[in-house]
Amino acid sequence: MKIITTLSSAVLALAVAGTSQASSHREAPFVAELPKADATDFYAFRSYEPDREGFVTLIANYNPLQDPYGGPNYFSLSRDTLYEIHVDNTGDAVEDLTFQFRFSDKLGGENNTGITLNVGGIDVAVPLKNVGGVTAADSSALNYHESYTVTTVTGDRRTGTKNTATNVVGGASVFAKPYDNVGEKTFGTSYDAYADSFVHSVKLAGCPAGSDIGKVFVGQRKDSFAVNLGEIFDLVNTNPLGGVDDETNDLADKNVTTLALEVPIECLTGGNENGIIGAWTTASMSQVRVLDPTPKALVTQVSSGAWTQVSRLGMPLVNEVVIGLPDKNLFNASEPKDDGQFIDYVTNPTLPALIQALYPSAPAPTNFPRNDLVAAFLTGLEGINKDGSVGEMIRLNTSIAVTLKADQSNFGVAGGDAAGFPNGRRPGDDVVDAELRVAMGLLCHLELGLCEPTDALAGLAPITDGVEQRADQFDNSFPYVTTPISGSPN
């Protein structure tokens, strides 16, 4: 299938995300109180690691803005949170397949009661999470261990059929998670090798036989997004017409926690004819939490009641700069099928008006309602990833061929690379610049029948946040996102 035939069809692909900007760190008032449940970035793309083109990689990053030196407790995930990646393969904005991650933790030492030192004849528990060097072969000095399970749910996320994933090696249903990169005295220079030992081959029970073996990795990674975060949210305190890589990436010294899953394409598509899936990630917590006034070891509360969604992420930065402050918590609790309730934020977006107020030389588009963004935001693109559904999520056409890392355009489809954003999202896709330009009316300057050039006088402006994202900033193999920054690099 010929995906790109003209400049118009290439640039049209940017419209899927025309109402957002970037990553999703602390994007709503309530989830800002719950960093362990805060999704920061979500990626869905056909695996471009050599010989893995039959797979899709799904990456959900959580727990934002981690300082590498953030000890002594660092950045575990929550035993009281349900982390999920949802896939719609029937074009109705409702999940058909869900991957659920649940976490547990325990102390080190004998009987998991904590490592102790004999001090003056008394065994006393140490205050640190490790007391010596740690390697892939020897973790006996670790005083804290995290693990997780993966469950596949077919149908409704709460009432569907559940199957427990298992490790291909040994058949265990519990997977180990690596300790964060606390520093080189703990790991030497071998954190890469240590973390690599936690990439597990997984049998995804519930997927069709022959398409049920994938990979899973959960652990700390370097933050995969690049943006001048401080300036953007200081009333866009930057030059939007400056160089594409002239500003400071404020996330360059931060880590995140990654949930990465590589799944055979057939498992995700369910054998649908068009090969298109929609995907998003969520985090949910129990409705009732009771704090224990006398906490015991790692258990500080009792949770009960129905799972209640507190975080949601599909396309990047929708909640930050599209959804109004009164509805940010509601958006995080909602599902794609119900996105009609937020339609005014798309038809009459405030972001272009804010840019015009700050930069009068960049007038906002005047075509209201913004039907160009309605089509882009809610449906996908004809001939690329339109699936018939209406709802905000990442849409990926798995029938479009993989582009190898060296050949990827960071502008994705608009750069002639149909395997990239907004046909899914890869780590190296520079979604910020692409989305800013479309939000200011780029599509009005194309013969698409959506709006006219006179509706968007700044539609051809080369707007940028000044921080570039490229494929060469990432690895060429699963899980693609790179080694976390060391907390003590000496």
Could you tell me the two tokens for 7? 């400049």
Residue 50 maps to a domain: yes
Q: Which residues contact 33 (CB under 8 A, 6 or more apart)?
A: none
Range of the domain at 48: 31-455
Residue 342 maps to a domain: yes
- What backbone phi and psi angles, to 5 degrees, belong to 340? -60, -25
Q: What is the pLDDT along the chain (490 residues), one digit of tens a residue?
A: 333 333 333 333 333 333 333 456 788 888 889 999 999 999 999 999 999 999 999 999 999 999 999 999 999 999 999 999 999 999 999 999 999 999 999 999 988 999 999 999 999 999 999 999 999 999 999 999 999 999 999 999 999 999 999 999 999 999 999 999 999 999 998 899 999 999 999 999 999 999 999 999 999 999 998 888 888 778 778 888 889 888 988 889 999 999 999 999 999 999 999 999 999 999 999 999 999 999 988 999 999 999 999 999 998 878 888 889 999 999 999 999 999 999 899 889 998 998 898 888 889 999 999 987 877 778 887 788 999 999 999 999 999 999 999 999 998 887 889 999 989 999 999 988 888 888 898 878 877 778 899 999 998 898 888 999 999 999 999 999 999 999 998 7
Residue 486 maps to a domain: no
Q: Let me know: does 164 contact 468? Beta carbons within 8 Å.
A: no
Residue 487 maps to a domain: no
Euclidean distance between CA atoms 132 and 141, whole angstroms: 5
pTM: 0.92
Residue 382 maps to a domain: yes
Q: Let me know: does 52 contact 262? Beta carbons within 8 Å.
A: yes
Residue 133 maps to a domain: yes
Residue 10 maps to a domain: no
Euclidean distance between CA atoms 336 and 320, whole angstroms: 17
Residue 446 maps to a domain: yes
Q: How many domains does the chain have?
A: 1
